[in-house]
A and B are shown apart, each in its own frame.
Chain A
């Protein structure tokens, strides 16, 4: 602190608290709604304090059913689909990116720069701009309604490769030389030296990619038609398909809360690496 300005200090806390409250408000509302019966929720104004139906609603959502006109799919199943997709996307992307970044940075081979730029180009185009033809490819390969179809096309972009490349460039040359003097071959160096040093980057990327995978909406919307393969974010949307007064809002809100928990947990638990990684990644 540069000088003593108590009023500014108080103002800072006030603003920050307001910020925290505004950020939390929608979620609070959702939580409250998820603990009442649907009748209480629909009748405006909705109560502002939690109700007594917590267990009923959450169990109901997880198992599926309900009386509204929206989808009745079991949220439990959808959470599993989301979890598997997110893990496959995160782990898959990290694995292939580590290998590619290693190749690009530590080797000299013909067309190396071409490969680098080819991978770099994929950074620029998110899946949303190529949905039509990508859908066709997946469909032709009979990958619709499969975990492969949900995940593999999303591993194509190179954010992770780029991050690892940036990181590898900061590893001192002398470590490689010392390893060479010690007799380590390329893959040994990769396994024993490079990977342990990359642990923080890997952790940060895991958080980012897990959330990316969990939150995917447009792509799963296209490639899954079978209810049992819906990720939970699609499931939520489909629950409100019936119209505002016909929806089981309490169940929808319970589902929303459930859908927010795993990514929020991942962010909270790995906060330190996540913040560091996010800021370092994009720069």
Chain B
């Protein structure tokens, strides 16, 4: 696909008029606030918010030295790795089998993609309900089995809870992409491998999996971004960052510090760090996806 059009239209003023709506909105609601975030991250206001002083990179230094911030970093890292690994492997398995079946393929697909529509907040509430120490049905079964399940007290249980909710929510998204990726591999390659004597298991690892690498990489990045940002609602619904701060992922901390603890400078600094992370991930994503595998 060309990156440019060879044939274009001529007008002095029309393109500007067309761009105006989006331009206006992104200037007011994106660039201005983003700039403000950068600015605020370099400032500190006193407890009453009446005066602002310039502190340079002090907010960032404080973050670096703040144990709870580093802890939040660790939590987020653990969380995203778990979500990405579990989410990708389960959905890959489902996609491989969905690719194989002949009958009912469309039904399976329909029944596996509708969770895309579920709001993260709702997902959080559902899993909270199922695993609630006092009223949850799964909690009850676990306790019958002798496992002392309690996400309100046990940090690992809480983490497990939000991981499950997040993976459940992302399964359909990952599944869709893996399925599309598998279906775009020319059947002739697989047939050639079969004639060469490769069994299904071997065929998967030596042909399909490598050819899926652009899709896998893309999904890896998307899942990490999802785990970083779109899971706010899940955390707020299921654990509120608790117990203590055990499930307070970075984006939750930004919200808490900015709106509950009212530490604007610190929260802005955290926002800036998050911005850098996302931009880096997106750049990696685009660079890599540009080099697609060609047959």
- Is B145 part of the binding interface, using a Cβ–Cβ cutoff of 8 Å? no
Listed by A's residue number, 12 A-B pairs whose Cβ atoms lie within 8 Å are: A16-B98, A19-B94, A99-B22, A105-B5, A115-B19, A118-B31, A132-B258, A132-B264, A136-B33, A137-B33, A244-B132, A263-B117
Cβ < 8 Å to B, chain A residues 110-141: 112, 115, 118-119, 122-126, 128-134, 136-138
Instruction: List, in ascending order, chain A residues with CB within 8 A of B267's CB.
Output: 132
Smallest CB separation, B138 vs chain A (Å): 8
Which of A133, A240, A244 makes the CB contact (< 8 A) with B134? Answer: A244
How would you classify the secondary structure of chain B's contact residues: helix, strand, loop or mixed?
A: helix
By Cβ-Cβ distance, the 4 closest A-B pairs, closest first, are A133-B36, A263-B117, A133-B33, A217-B233
Given A30-B126, A137-B29, answer yes or no on A19-B112 (Cβ-Cβ < 8 Å).
yes
Task: Decide: A253 and B129 in contact? CB cutoff 8 A.
Answer: yes
- Is A161 part of the binding interface, using a Cβ–Cβ cutoff of 8 Å? yes
Task: Decide: B137 and A46 in contact? CB cutoff 8 A.
Answer: yes
- Is B81 part of the binding interface, using a Cβ–Cβ cutoff of 8 Å? no
- Is B37 part of the binding interface, using a Cβ–Cβ cutoff of 8 Å? yes
Q: Which residue of A lies closest to B13 (CB)?
A: A109
The proximity string for A residues 257-272 relative to B, scoring 1 for CB distances below 8 Å and 0 otherwise, is 0011001101110010
Chain A residue total in the interface (Cβ 8 A): 107
Task: Decide: A41 and B114 in contact? CB cutoff 8 A.
Answer: no
Smallest CB separation, A211 vs chain B (Å): 6
Task: Decide: A134 and B132 in contact? CB cutoff 8 A.
Answer: no
- Is B254 part of the binding interface, using a Cβ–Cβ cutoff of 8 Å? yes
Task: Decide: B119 and A215 in contact? CB cutoff 8 A.
Answer: yes
Task: Decide: B112 and A152 in contact? CB cutoff 8 A.
Answer: no
Which of B19, B28, B136 makes the CB contact (< 8 A) with A100? Answer: B19
- Give complex CA distance A2, B173 in Å: 27
Which of A4-12, A55-63, A71-79 interfaces with chain B? Answer: A4-12
Instruction: List, in ascending order, chain B residues with CB within 8 A of A134's CB.
Output: 29, 33
Instruction: List, in ascending order, chain B residues with CB within 8 A of A33's CB.
Output: 129
